[in-house]
Structure formats: structure tokens, C-alpha cells
Amino acid sequence: MINLGILISARGSNMDSILAAIKAGRIPRAKPQIVISNNADAEGLKVASEKYGVSTKVILSEGLKRQDYDKKMIAALEEADVKPDNGLVCLAGFMRIISPEFVRHFKMKILNIHPALLPSFPGLHAQKQAIDYGVKVSGCTVHFVDDGVDSGPIILQRTVPVVEGDSEETLAARILEQEHQAYPEAVKLFTEGRLKVEGRIAHQL
């Protein structure tokens, strides 16, 4: 079994899609252990505990340096038995950049989802970036996390059309539907040992 720690900052709909897939028996090798948020008001915290009975923890960042914050996160994850040798950390709308120390600790055991087809439009407001650039296709990317911003090996991508008259909101909603399919699928691949990373390529076995 792979023990999952999920990090969120707000709505947590991607977390919900992962936990729903696990509950439905679609990711049999994943065991959700903890959901951590940097925001005490994150709606996803209630969803995790009330809908799925998963433990939650809030770690506030005020007054902490990035490295010290991340040390607290590592401690909370390890306390919940999410460790580099048995675990997977899923960033699901976690609105903080994580430190190189955290990335190194959980080397190639951290996944993220991004609402664009990387390497296009990394960073914030990816959907708006796509609209403003005028691309006709966008989508989402699930990738391993490395030291850069949205730059690690790509596990899978799903596309959606960008249509005339799209706003940031309408495009985000269309992409989100695909995110909710893609993230659980990537977690399943990881937990089944079907991903092998060589350099920047994540091969599917």
C-alpha cells in the first residue's frame, strides 16, 4: 500500500476526486492518511473529514521561513506515516512553493496538478495566460515535482478546446472536469508502480 498525504489550500475539488476514487475502490493500492492545509478556512478540510473520514491538519505559515514551514509539514506527514519509502504527497491546489529540502526529502514522491498543458503557462492564472495568448487547445498536466515551478517530469495530460468567448472561469471549469479524471489516474499509476522516471521523462510501464 502507498500512504497518501494531500496538501490543499482552498476548495479541494481535486482532493475530493482522489478520495472519491479511492472510496469507490478505483485506486486499491492507495491509503489516504492525512490532508494538510496552510489555510484554516480551506473548504476541502471539511470535505476530507466529514465525507471521507480522513484526518486533517492545519499548518499556518505566518512568521515561518519556507524551510521551517516545510520541516513542520514533513513532521506532520511522517507522524501520519507518509514517508519517502511508503508514501506519496499530492499537491492539490496547494498555493505555496515548496522548498528544495522538501522536494529532496520526498524525491519523485510528490505529484502536482497544473491547469495548463505544461511547459506552456506555468505559474499562477494559467487559464488566463492561455486565453490571453490565444491558444486553441489547453488542458491540464499531472507531473512530478522537482525544484522548479511546474517543471517536473510529466505523467499525463488531458486536453480541452479553448472556444470563442471563453472567460477565465469558463475555461477553468472545462479544464477542471479533466483534472478530476487525470489526477486519480496518475495516483493509480504511481501506486501500482507503473511510473519510471529517467531524466525528465516519466515512462509509463
Binding site for ligand GRF (CB under 6 A): 8, 10-14, 92-93, 113-115, 176, 179
93 or 184: whose CB is closer to ligand GRF? 93
- Three-state SS for 34-53 is EEEECCCCCHHHHHHHHHHC
Which is nearer to ligand GRF, 80 or 182 (by Cβ)? 182
Q: How far apart are CA 35 and CA 37, in angstroms?
A: 7
Least CB distance to ligand GRF at residue 73 (A): 17
Can you tell me the distance from the alpha carbon of 56 to that of 15, in angstroms, rounded to the nearest whole number? 12
CA pair distance 149, 112, nearest whole angstrom:
10
Q: Which residue's CB comes closest to ligand GRF?
A: 93
Name the minimum Å distance from CB 8 to ligand GRF.
Answer: 6
Within 10 angstroms of residue 134's Cβ, the number of other Cβ atoms is: 7
Sign of CA dihedral 103, 106, 108, 111: negative
Min dist CB 185 to ligand GRF, Å, is: 14
Question: Which lies closer to ligand GRF via its Cβ, residue 14 or residue 56?
Answer: 14
Q: Does 114 participate in catalysis according to the annotation?
A: yes
Q: Which is nearer to ligand GRF, 91 or 195 (CB)?
A: 91
Give min distance, CB of 13 to ligand GRF, in A.
3
Whose grid coordinates read 515551478? Answer: 149
Is residue 95 within 8 A of residue 7, CB to CB? The reply is no
**Active-site residue, from 105, 114, 143, 180:** 114
| φ, ψ dihedrals at 142, nearest 5° | -105, 130
Smallest distance, ligand GRF to C-beta of residue 95, A: 8
Q: What are phi and psi of 118, to 5 degrees?
A: -60, 150
Nearer to ligand GRF, 100 or 123 (CB): 123
**Which residue type is seen at 66?**
R
Active site residues: 114
